[in-house]
A and B are shown apart, each in its own frame.
Chain A
Amino acid sequence: MALTGLDIYKLLPKTNCGDCGSPTCLAFAMKLAAKQVSLDQCPHVSEEAQAEMGSASQPPIRLVTIGTGQAEIELGNETVLFRHEETFYHGTGLAVRLRENNPEAEKRLELINKLHFTRVGEDIFVNLLALEEESGDPEKYGVFAAHYGSRTHLALILISRSPACLKAALEKMGDRRPLIHAAVDDNIDEVAGLAKEYSCPLVVRGKGVEETAKLAERAKELGVEDLILDTTPDNIRDGLADQVIIRRQALNKQFRPLGYPTIAFTDPGADKMTQALEASVLIAKYSGIVVTDLLEHEYILPLLTTRQNIYTDPQKPIQVEPKLYEVGTPDRSSPLIVTTNFSLTYFTVEGEVEASRIPAYLLIVDTEGTSVLTAWAADKFNAETIARSEERRVGKECRSRWSPYH
């Protein structure tokens, strides 16, 4: 939350010495609030004031990066509770879990690596591979993590409560910058130490929101700031509540210990469709990362579509490619229907035309993603722009009495 000029003034020495270049401390404070000057121009400001102003200038939900290079994924830095207020910025990272003792781990990894689709011209894909320790044996887990980590381009999550196992895996991760899951009450000093040593982001996992906030504070004291919160809910009802409480604490109350992205798991004991539905709720309701055991395309495609839709920027209308579409199997005598390339207009018209069961051509005109009335008012949807669109193909393929080429 940004401080006002008066808030800042209270933190300054109030000596009006002029060393900063401004005539008075108040003038300097006003310039600071307007971000016209920086605090280091005041040589006399106290350390406490520096810390307070530094934290006030941070975003309410910290931006945390996992992975490097192409696999890098950014989470956090969200600013609203409802997407219509602005937008949701960093799409939920979808993670698929691979367990150490799974005899089919090889096969699963091959499937996980292929979870990549194209929808409405956008690539949508699973972002993370979660490698879960089960043996309790640092050497074994280190080999497991190194083996499967090297065979995927996805960002990685290392899941273990054992500091020794985590260390064994981290040693072999090079510069992959995996997410460490998790620091809990009885290992936080050691695991936070590892996060610091290897410069990796860290999950703090408590039971419920309050305990998780305490662990986040502790981790910060230990020098780890790239944190992700896991509240270990018992079910999706509690999971939803935790996500909402955390987001509201961070945005409405500027409560720093909860100003981090979150991670949540689908219930491995539930049937697959239920897991997929849980994941969709978590994606819609603020989860930074969702970890699931699902990897079949029929479950992952709707989840990635959910993320694509919910994280669409409502300030920028989605556009469909302006071209001549076919609905059903039209022939040269089929009607030609014309509309704009605002995606919702397209979906509505296409649906209605399809429901009519009359095969038709649908000519989508480039109106820069605006709807019919808006485009018409802005003179982007008129005889000229319509005639210009795909002129040749319409002339060649469509000879209906609706066609201008009839």
Chain B
Amino acid sequence: MESINEKWTNTINTVTIGATKENGGSRGSTVTIGGETTLPFLHFEGQIPHRPALALDVIDYNPDDWPEVLKSPYADVLGDPTAWAEKCEKEYGADLICLRLQSLHPDWGDTAPEKAAETVAAVLKATTIPLIIWGCDSPEKDNLALPLCAQAAAGENCLIGFATEDNYKTLAVACLADKHKIVAQSPIDINIAKQVNILISEMGFNPSDIIIDPNTGALGYGIEYTYSIMERIRLAGLSGDKMMAMPMICDVGADAWRAKEAKALKENFPEWGSEKVRGPLWEAMTAVLLLQSGGDLINLRHPEALNKVREQIEVLMGGGDWGV
């Protein structure tokens, strides 16, 4: 047979998140993603030097609207982001923490920007794994709070999100000043994805310090759009477009658990089966599908989803035999 291998001309950027003592931080470990010279898990064709990494979400308030299935693994730490983050590291084995500063949002508590920075410092102190800092999606509040958070985490080489086409300057300046990586988010749109990267780079940001967030649609709720946009971004990156050659982050937990099929109780929808399996599986399947379209870093919520996605990654990266 003739070879069917593609000759890709470009390598996806390699990005390290977190800094150990030697590098000016206090992390016990760092996470490196990217560096692929082929499409996801096609080891016959190219190099995939780093396995995709998995973060667990920690919310800075008590998410009492979460479904029971999702709350129960965190029952003893909800409302205490420090203890929550510690649990994600020690008990559930996350590669990174994604600290979500949701309480900043005017609709969700409107807490002070200084408080967000304190939470960041406290979580860094309580954990040894790298940190992702996630804004509240209110541009005004994020622009006030994220620079303070970046400062509080100076030297730790965090990943901070997110910059958008309409609001990127403040965060880019803060990340440049305190040497953090940045998340460039676009609304499931390949042209805007590239545009945000260009805008941030034009401010003097090194393109290899950018991670693309293509915006996630959950399984059943638009995942096909995300899936195809990610495939197109990755194909462009491998084909030589330097402004598309960034690793990609997928915010799966937040989106998957918004799906009715993830949350609904069996007693209300008997034909959908047990929510104890269905919820984590909805999240894990969303993640596994987006890994196939190029995800390098996935934010998750349920520890069982984390375990199962990690097992899939291990087999896809290294082998392991089916016992047939």
Contact = CB atoms under 8 A, between A and B. Distances in A.
Interface of A: 82-84, 117, 119, 209-210, 213, 233-238, 240-241, 244-245, 248-249, 252-253, 255, 265, 267-270, 272-274, 276-278, 280-281, 284-285, 296-299, 301-303, 305-306, 308-310, 312, 314, 343-344, 347-348, 351, 354-358
A298 B227 CA distance: 23
Contacts of B317: 237
B4 A252 contact: yes
Contacts of B275: 298
A296 to B, nearest CB: 5
Contact of B285 (A234, A253, A276): A276
Nearest to A210: B1
Contacts of A236: 312, 315-316
Contacts of B235: 82
A309 B309 CA distance: 20
17 contacts: A82-B235, A209-B1, A236-B312, A241-B41, A241-B43, A249-B1, A253-B2, A270-B322, A274-B311, A277-B309, A277-B312, A281-B292, A285-B292, A298-B281, A299-B281, A351-B255, A357-B107
Nearest to B4: A248
Interface of B: 1-2, 4, 39, 41-44, 65, 107, 188, 217, 219-225, 227-228, 231-232, 235, 255, 258, 261, 271-275, 277-278, 280-282, 284-285, 288-289, 292-293, 304, 308-309, 311-312, 315-324
B2 A255 contact: yes
Contacts of B43: 237, 241
A237 B315 contact: yes
B261 A240 contact: no
A244 B78 CA distance: 44
Contacts of B41: 237, 240-241
A357 B106 CA distance: 12
A267 B42 contact: no
B220 A274 contact: no
Given A83-B224, A119-B220, A234-B321, 9 more contacts: A209-B1, A236-B312, A237-B315, A241-B42, A277-B309, A280-B285, A298-B275, A303-B285, A305-B220
A82 B231 contact: yes
A297 B217 contact: no
Contacts of B261: 301-302, 305
A265 B289 CA distance: 18
A235 B315 contact: yes
Contacts of A314: 224, 228
A269 B217 CA distance: 31
A298 B274 contact: yes
B211 to A, nearest CB: 22
Contacts of A244: 39, 42
Given A235-B322, A344-B217, A302 B65 contact: no
Nearest to B258: A351
A375 to B, nearest CB: 17
A305 to B, nearest CB: 5
Contacts of A348: 222
B281 A276 contact: yes
A289 to B, nearest CB: 17
Contacts of A272: 277
A347 B42 contact: no
Nearest to B40: A240
A276 B277 CA distance: 11
A84 B188 CA distance: 13
Contact of A253 (B4, B273, B293): B4
Contacts of B220: 119, 302, 305, 308-309
Contacts of A296: 273-274, 277
Given A249-B1, A297-B271, A301-B261, A237 B277 contact: no
Contact of A235 (B227, B258, B289, B321): B321
A309 B323 contact: no
A299 B223 CA distance: 18
A357 B102 CA distance: 14
Contacts of A233: 322
A314 B226 CA distance: 12
A112 B70 CA distance: 29
B231 A280 contact: no
Contacts of A343: 222
A117 B271 contact: yes
Contacts of A308: 220
A299 B282 CA distance: 9
B44 A245 contact: yes
Nearest to A273: B308
Contacts of B217: 344, 347
B285 A306 contact: yes
Q: Which 5 A-B pairs have the closest CB atoms?
A: A298-B273, A297-B273, A269-B323, A248-B4, A298-B278
Contacts of A301: 261, 272-273, 278
A249 B4 contact: yes
**Which among A234, A248, A298, A301 has the greatest number of chain B C-beta atoms within 10 A?**
A298
Contacts of B4: 245, 248-249, 252-253
A183 B255 CA distance: 44
